[in-house]
Amino acid sequence: MELNFLTIIDLAGTFSFALSGAFAAMEKRLDPFGVIILAFAPAIGGGSVRDVLIGDLPVAWLSNNITIGVIIFAAIAAMLFASRLKKFEPLLQVFDALGLGLFTMVGIEKGIMHGYPPGICISLGVLTGCFGGVLRDVVLNNVPYLFHKEIYASASIIGGLGFFAFQSAGMQTTLLNIVCILLIFFVRMLAVRYHWSLPAFYKHPNNL
């Protein structure tokens, strides 16, 4: 049951990130096969790197047909509904933020399942949440969202710290997962909306 809930989160994250990849590819006017391939990059990038580093091989998406089906479905849905949309960019940001929250949570839970300490669990969460999007953006020659001014990885880290804080306060697991996913999603969306950014607390030399 607990595992089932995690699987649902994982598939929801896959769907969200696949949509973000498809919209990013459509912004760059790639052809339909290109859109499908770019839907794969964020949807499986972060989880694959996490599974590879842990040594949990073959990676999850190879051992079932559902993940691939969800990604292709998301890519086709994005293309079919494209004519109703005025711009792809805002949707890309919404689904990217949703994927960030969902995948960060999956990464943390995977770390806990493997018995890693909190610091490493949070690192795995950040990696799972952020790497797919970086891969999507690097491959498309875009500046990764990770390096825009608005807080991004910080949202993922805040969610991870929140998870272990709420957990030690005794919150029930399923609720805990939902709270942290929403925390990451809203922090990120508010950051985009109101251009939140962290100050660089180090003083940068003027001559740069």
Residues near a second copy (CB under 8 A): 26-35, 37, 40, 48, 52-55, 57-59, 62, 65, 68, 78-80, 82-83, 85-88, 116-117, 119-120, 123, 126, 130, 134, 138-141, 143-144, 146-147, 149, 151, 153-154, 157, 197-205, 207-208
CB of residue 1 vs a second copy: minimum separation in angstroms?
27
Cα separation, 181 vs 156, whole angstroms? 9
Rank residues 1 and 80 by Cβ distance to a second copy and give the closer one.
80
CB of 207 to a second copy, least distance (A): 7
At closest approach, how far in Å is the CB of 133 from a second copy? 12
Q: Least Å distance between CB 44 and a second copy?
A: 9
> Among residues 5 and 148, whose Cβ is nearest to a second copy?
148
Closer residue to a second copy, CB minimum distance, 73 or 175 = 73
Q: And the tokens for 12?
A: 């929801």
With b for 16 or more beta-carbon neighbours within 10 A and e for fewer, the 7-39 pattern comes to: eebbbbbbbbbbbbbbbbbbeeebeeebbbbbb
**Contacts (Cβ under 8 Å, ≥6 apart) of 55:** none
Q: How many CA atoms lie within 13 A of 133 on its CB side?
A: 31
Give whichever of 32 and 174 is closer to a second copy, judged by the CB atom: 32
Nearer to a second copy (CB atom), residue 168 or residue 206: 206
What type of residue is 161? L
Q: Which is nearer to a second copy, 8 or 66 (CB)?
A: 66
Please, what is the minimum distance in Å from the beta carbon of residue 169 to a second copy? 24
Least Cβ distance, residue 38 to a second copy (angstroms): 9
